């Protein structure tokens, strides 16, 4: 039964970040808060208006070592690893190829991923010069997001489909003494009262194929000269449906275009079939072409506490505690660590 004296938490956004924040709150503080998730797009939607359905959702190192991000990724890696027993995540063998020999000192994640080793020259395909192999985690968003929603619903979390235009409206929904978590991803750029100009999209285009023989994740450098702007190269076998593989992709900063670019699709296909010629058979079927916009933020994720004084509300002037959180390009990979950091702010209230 919901106790009326519980403080009301409104989480704005039902992508992987909003859902994970709700999970951490209801796990750590099962009887202190009443939680409502308010979002324009809900976990079951396959909508290009939010990022979470489109992710490769693979735990893969990105960029140089950053202690703050590493902490989030470390927490999330271990959490995802343990979720394998529930069938929500999948442990997959992975390889990364490089255009030069591997300098192990620069591989900051070697003690975090499992079964790490440097590939012998015979294991590295031409024209690459070095490679590594390790086990990592892949999540299937189409299964994982609905699971999070179902689990949260069983904990009493309410889901409301609503677009919010002004952060004050969310604060009003939270009511007196309420708390708002802002997990709107790219929405933080235009949400009145937040309007974070550092938030920008990173366009990701992929192809989903049926290719049951592809069993490992691979990432490799784009070799064309000059390299087409924003192209990347990877393949990720999906935990389910069986045999589905995501071929990628692009990392196009500040590009808002959600339509499919078939020139990019051709390049993705060409690179994938050059690396794995076995893909280029009649057995491989194209399931879909996909485009999603990753929310990113210059300067990194924003996890901080803000106090919002509402203008005129029904009862009186109220202080509303507002937590704003916006995340960078790899939202799944940071999700549990970032949510824990955000929820720790509750203790400051």
DSSP structure string for 19-49: HHHHHHHHHH-TTTEEEEEEESS-TT---TT
Residue 249 in the binding site for ligand FAD (CB under 6 A) = yes
Residue 144 in the binding site for ligand FAD (CB under 6 A) = no
301: left (phi over 0), alpha (psi -120 to 50) or beta: beta
Choose which of 332, 337, 339, 341 interacts with ligand FAD (CB under 6 A).
332
Closest approach, Cβ 219 to ligand FAD, in A, equals 10
Closest approach, Cβ 91 to ligand FAD, in A, equals 15
Choose which of 124, 164, 199, 217 interacts with ligand FAD (CB under 6 A).
164
Closest approach, Cβ 345 to ligand FAD, in A, equals 17
CA 23 and chain centroid, separation: 16
Residue 288 in the binding site for ligand FAD (CB under 6 A) = no
Write out 103-141 in H/E/C secondary structure: CHHHCCCCCCCEEEEECCHHHCCCCCCEEEEEEEEEECH
Three-state DSSP class for residue 224: coil
Give the number of residues in contact with ligand FAD, rule: CB under 6 A: 40
Choose which of 207, 276, 333, 343 interacts with ligand FAD (CB under 6 A).
333
Sign of the torsion angle spanned by Cα atoms 98, 100, 104, 108? negative
Residue 206 in the binding site for ligand FAD (CB under 6 A) = yes
Residue 40 in the binding site for ligand FAD (CB under 6 A) = yes
Q: Any known ligand binding at 184?
A: yes
d(CA 27, CA 188): 26
Place of tokens 């949260």: 152
Residue 36 in the binding site for ligand FAD (CB under 6 A) = no
Residue 77 in the binding site for ligand FAD (CB under 6 A) = no
The answer to whether 20 and 192 are in contact (CB under 8 A) is no
Closest CA to 100 of 223, 230, 277: 223
Which span sits near ligand FAD by CB under 6 A: 22-30, 51-59, 237-245, 277-285? 51-59
Percentages helix, strand, coil for the chain (3-state, rounded to 5) are 30, 30, 40
Residue 58 in the binding site for ligand FAD (CB under 6 A) = yes
The answer to whether 60 and 219 are in contact (CB under 8 A) is yes
Choose which of 185, 237, 239, 301 interacts with ligand FAD (CB under 6 A).
185
Choose which of 39, 194, 272, 346 interacts with ligand FAD (CB under 6 A).
39
Q: Any known ligand binding at 329?
A: yes
Instruction: List interacting residues with ligand FAD (CB under 6 A).
Output: 12-18, 39-41, 49-52, 54-58, 60, 163-164, 183-187, 191, 204, 206, 249, 292, 294-295, 327, 329-333
Numbered residues of the known binding site for FAD: 184
């Amino acid at each position: 039964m919901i106790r009326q004296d519980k403080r009301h938490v409104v989480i704005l956004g039902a992508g992987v970040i909003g859902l994970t924040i709700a999970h951490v709150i209801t796990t750590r503080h099962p009887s202190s808060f009443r939680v409502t998730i308010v979002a324009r797009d809900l976990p079951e939607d396959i909508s290009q208006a939010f990022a979470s359905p489109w992710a490769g959702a693979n735990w893969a190192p990105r960029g140089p070592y950053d202690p703050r991000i590493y902490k989030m990724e470390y927490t999330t890696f271990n959490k995802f690893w343990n979720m394998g027993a529930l069938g929500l995540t999948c442990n997959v063998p992975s390889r990364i190829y490089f255009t030069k020999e591997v300098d192990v000192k620069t591989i900051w994640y070697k003690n975090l991923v499992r079964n790490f080793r440097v590939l012998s020259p015979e294991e590295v395909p031409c024209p690459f010069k070095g490679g590594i192999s390790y086990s990592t985690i892949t999540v299937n968003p189409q299964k994982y997001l609905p699971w999070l929603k179902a689990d949260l619903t069983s904990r009493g979390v309410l889901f409301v489909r609503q677009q919010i235009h002004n952060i004050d409206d969310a604060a009003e929904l939270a009511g007196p003494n309420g708390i708002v978590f802002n997990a709107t991803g790219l929405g933080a750029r235009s949400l009145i009262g937040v309007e974070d100009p550092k938030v920008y999209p990173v366009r990701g285009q992929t192809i989903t194929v049926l290719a049951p023989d592809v069993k490992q994740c691979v990432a490799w450098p784009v070799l064309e000269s000059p390299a087409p702007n924003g192209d990347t190269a990877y393949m990720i076998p999906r935990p389910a449906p069986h045999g589905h593989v995501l071929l990628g992709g692009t990392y196009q900063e500040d590009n808002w275009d959600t339509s499919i670019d078939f020139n990019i699709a051709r390049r993705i296909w060409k690179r994938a079939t050059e690396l794995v010629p076995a893909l280029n058979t009649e057995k491989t079927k194209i399931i879909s072409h996909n485009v999603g916009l990753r929310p990113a933020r210059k300067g990194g994720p924003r996890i901080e506490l803000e106090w919002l004084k509402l203008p005129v509300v029904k009862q009186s002037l109220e202080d509303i505690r507002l937590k704003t959180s916006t995340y960078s390009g790899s939202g799944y990979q940071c999700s549990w660590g970032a949510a824990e950091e955000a929820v720790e702010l509750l203790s400051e209230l």
